[in-house]
Structure 1
Amino acid sequence: MRAPAPFRAPVPAGRRPVVPPAVTLPPAFEALYALHGARYLGYALAHVAEPAASRVLGEAMGEVAIRWADIVRRPNPAACAWTVVSARIRARSGGSGLDPADLTPGLFERVGLRHPALEYDAFVLHDVLGYSVEETAEAMGAEVSRVRYALLAGRGPGRPERVARGPAGRLPAAARNTPHE
C-alpha cells in the first residue's frame, strides 16, 4: 500500500507561490554568536530549563540581530549585545531564576552597589557556571578589572567566596537550575 501524496494547495493561474527571502546575517553577528553562544546558553539555563532556555536565547539573539546596525556603531558592541541578551533572559525567565530584584530587598542599596545587574551577571557566569574572570568579562563585554570588582562587591560581608561549580567548558544540567544548590 502506497502512502498518500501530501496535500498541496492549488496555485491560481498566473501566480507563483510566495517564498520567503533568505536571511543572511552579518559575519560580525555570526562571529559574536560563535564566540559567546555557549556562554549565553549557559546563562539562559541558569534561569530556565530546556527547551525554554533555547527559545529565550533565540528571542534574545533575534533582538540583537534586529538592533545589530545600532549595536555595531557603539564603542563596545559586545557589551551592548550582552545587555540585550541578559536583560531579555532575566525578563523572560518569569521570575523562576535568580533576579537581583528577588534577592533580599534593599541588599544592593545597603551594600552600596550601583550596578546590581553587573554583580548578578558576573556572579552567575563566574560562580554558578564556572567561567574564569577573563571569560566572564569577555562574554559581558566588560573589562576584567570591572568584573573582579563586581564579584568582590557582590559578595559583601558574610557571603561565601564561591559556590560549587562545574568545569568551565561544561553547560549546567537542568538539575542545576535551582538557586539553592
Structure 2
Amino acid sequence: MTTLHHPSHTPDTPLTLALPLDFTAFCELHHHHYQRYARTRITDPATAQHAVHAALGDIAMRWPHLLASPSPAACAWHLLKHRIRQHTTNPRDSGHNDDLADTALLHHTLHLTDTDIAHVTGTPLHTVRYQLHTTHHPPAPPEPQTPMPPPPGQA
C-alpha cells in the first residue's frame, strides 16, 4: 500500500493507492539504483527524481505486460532510460543505447557488482561480465601490416 499526499489534501486525508505487491517489491529493489543512475545523467536532482518517478509510473502502467516479458527488468530499464533521455542533452542520449557505457558507469561510478548490474538492467550476467571485461581490456590496436617479401627469385 502506498500513501501519497496531494497538495489539496490535508495530512489527515492522504490519498492511498493499493499497488500490486510484486510491483511494490520491484520498486523497493530498483528505486535506489534508478535514482543514483538518473543523478549521474541529469544534473538537477529534482529533475532526476522526476524522471525516475515518471519511469516508475510508466512501469506501473505496463506492469502486467512487463511480467509476461522474458525480462521485466530489461523492459523497466528501457523505460527508465527513455525518461532520462527526455531530460538530457548529451548526444549519447539522443536515441541509441550505449549498453557498454551504462555498464561501465554502473560499475565504475556507482560501484555496482556485475550481479547487481544484471539484476537492475535485466542484462544476462555473462553479457555484463563481457562488457566489463571489454571496458577493462579494450581491444589491442591492429598490428601494422608489413609487406611480404617477394618469393625467392622474383625480386
TM-score by length of 1: 0.60
2:58 equivalent in structure 1? 63
**Residue 24 of structure 1 is aligned with which of 2, 18, 23?**
18
- Identify, as 1 or 2, the structure richer in helix: 2
1:93 equivalent in structure 2? 87
1:178 equivalent in structure 2? none
Within 2, Cα distance between the matches of 1:149 and 1:101? 25
2:151 equivalent in structure 1? none
| Cα distance, 1:100–1:86 mapped onto 2, change above 3 Å | closer
Tell me the amino acid that sits aligned with residue 62 of structure 1: G
1:129 equivalent in structure 2? 110
Tell me whether 1:52 sits opposite 2:33 in the alignment.
no
Instruction: Kindly report which structure 2 residues correspond to 1:1-181, keeping only aligned pairs within 5 A, or say none.
Output: 22-48=16-42, 49-89=44-84, 91-96=85-90, 99=92, 116-154=97-135, 156-157=138-139
Q: Partner of 2:41: helix, strand, or coil?
A: coil
Larger radius of gyration: 2
Count residues with an aligned counterpart: 126
Higher relative contact order (CA 8 A, sep 6+): 1
| Cα distance, 1:101–1:127 mapped onto 2, change above 3 Å | farther
Q: Does structure 1 conserve the Cα–Cα contact (< 8 Å) formed by 2:51 and 2:80? A: no
Q: Does structure 2 conserve the Cα–Cα contact (< 8 Å) formed by 1:100 and 1:120? A: no
Over the matched positions of the two proteins, sequence identity in percent amounts to 29
Q: Does structure 1 conserve the Cα–Cα contact (< 8 Å) formed by 2:55 and 2:79? A: yes
Gaps of 5+ in 1: 1-18, 103-114, 159-181
| Runs of 4 or more above 6 Å deviation | none
Q: Does structure 1 conserve the Cα–Cα contact (< 8 Å) formed by 2:59 and 2:76? A: yes
1:55 Cα deviation (Å)? 0.8
1:85 Cα deviation (Å)? 1.2
| Cα distance, 1:123–1:40 mapped onto 2, change above 3 Å | same
Tell me the amino acid that sits aligned with residue 147 of structure 1: V
1:141 Cα deviation (Å)? 1.5
Tell me the amino acid that sits aligned with residue 30 of structure 2: H
